Amino acid sequence: MLFIKNGTIVDPVKNTLYRADLQIAEGKIERIIREGEAAPAQIKEHINIEETETIDAEGLLIAPGLADTHVHFREPGFTYKEDIITGAAAAARGGFTEIVLMANTKPPVDNEETLSYVLSRGKETGIHIESCANVTLGMAGKELTDMEKLGEAGAAGFTDDGIPLLDESIVRKAMEKAKSLHKPISFHEENPGMIANNGINAGEAAAFYGIGGSPREAEISLVKRDLELALETGAEVVIQHISAKESVALLREAKAKGAHVHGECTPHHFTLTESAAIEKGTLAKMNPPLREEADRLALIEGLKDGTIDLIATDHAPHAKEEKEKPITEAPSGIIGLETALSLGIRELVEKGYLTMPQLIERMSAAPCRLYGLCGGRIEEGAAASLVLFHPTEKWKVSEFASKSANSPFIGEELPGVVHYTICDGRVIFRLPQSPTK
């Protein structure tokens, strides 16, 4: 039994905030007692017994546990960077209770055995971990996986994230199959034939390093193609980690035409521009790259008007020695689970672009709806998966629960301190000084 008192509920479904206490039992929200309502007698009895833990959430916001549908935990194959256990710890520290993993592991998740391994490892953590399966065998872009069997085995969706699919006929077939299975299919949109050097924008940053970089056209061309195919097939399509203003405009147009498409934006893309790649070097190198201020603002406008409906971290751990290589040799990607909520608060809520319920909607309710996850709601009878955080309290980015520390935000002071993460009624992360009884 868990009793949370004096908190402020963030309801992303009804777009409201209100004061309430929560009674939690058997992993569910048993009762919500709004401020001013008399607590039923059975609640008064419960909170006096030894088996009940009481959390005083005075000053804290209580939101549904965050959901990240674009995560790399590197297992199997690259566990020196991260593994499912350490990744889950980073997720819990960041307030996440629902994770959907990408499939570009070694071996890739193109078969039932690897999928089963990943899902079973996920059950060893305190959070809910799902995984996508690959679209093509070996991520080679030539032959579809047995998507039906992988779906039956528990794949949350399908993607070859990390490697763009260039064969239009393969993409069309994959979308048609995903639609028949009622599963989302996600696409990494960068045409490698247009890219001289990945991870760095073909603009001011590329000029600084004296390289060709990655032009926006590499993204735009594939986004345009896949949005047209999405409209044609009726598939539930996710355009991953959008970086260009033109991509936002194309997505908005496709939604207006009735396509079942979703836009995904990372905290680093709505926070930083290519100037960070100049200042931070490889710690700000990622695919697609950070672009210009006009692109960043277009992403925020897309989040604001609902064109972009998902905030996902693309949490991509790498070893220190890998990121210390020269700019053209170091791998792309940064970690993001432990800073995502704070960046959303600082860049979107504090600057007036989104309300707090709108931020949580894009970080919890919307991804849960799309992937059929159990979180995203605070209602009686719903799963008691929650994050309790102080929206203005500051913390300094330094140490991480992740195995890796490849973040351009190291040393920054950010708002939004997670005090508790609760999954199915169990406290899986607790800030050491947080009060409890």
Residues in contact with 373: Cβ distance below 8 Å, sequence separation at least 6, in sequence order: 67, 98, 100, 128, 130, 367
What is the number of other CB atoms lying within 10 angstroms of the CB of residue 35? Answer: 11
- State the sign of the Cα–Cα–Cα–Cα dihedral 105, 106, 110, 114: negative
Q: CA 343, CA 173: separation in Å to the nearest integer?
A: 38
Query: Is there a contact between 370 and 260 (Cβ–Cβ < 8 Å)?
Result: no
Instruction: For 331, list phi and psi in degrees, rounded to 5.
Output: -70, 155
Residues in contact with 86: Cβ distance below 8 Å, sequence separation at least 6, in sequence order: 401, 402, 403
Structure tokens of 107?
């071996």
Coil, helix or strand at residue 58 = coil
CB burial of residue 49 (10 Å; 0-12, 13-18, 19+): exposed
107: Cα separation from own chain's centroid: 23
Nearest Cα residue to 308 out of 350, 275, 267, 349: 267
Instruction: For 217, list phi and psi in degrees, rounded to 5.
Output: -60, -30
DSSP code of 331? P
Structure tokens of 29?
């929200």
Among the options 68, 110, 314, 424, which is catalytic? 314
- 194-228 residues labelled b (16+ CB within 10 A) or e (exposed): bbebbbbbbbbbbebbebebbbbebbbbbbbbbbe
Catalytic, 314? Answer: yes
Nearest Cα residue to 244 out of 306, 201, 193: 201
Instruction: For 237, list phi and psi in degrees, rounded to 5.
Output: -115, 135
The catalytic residues are 314
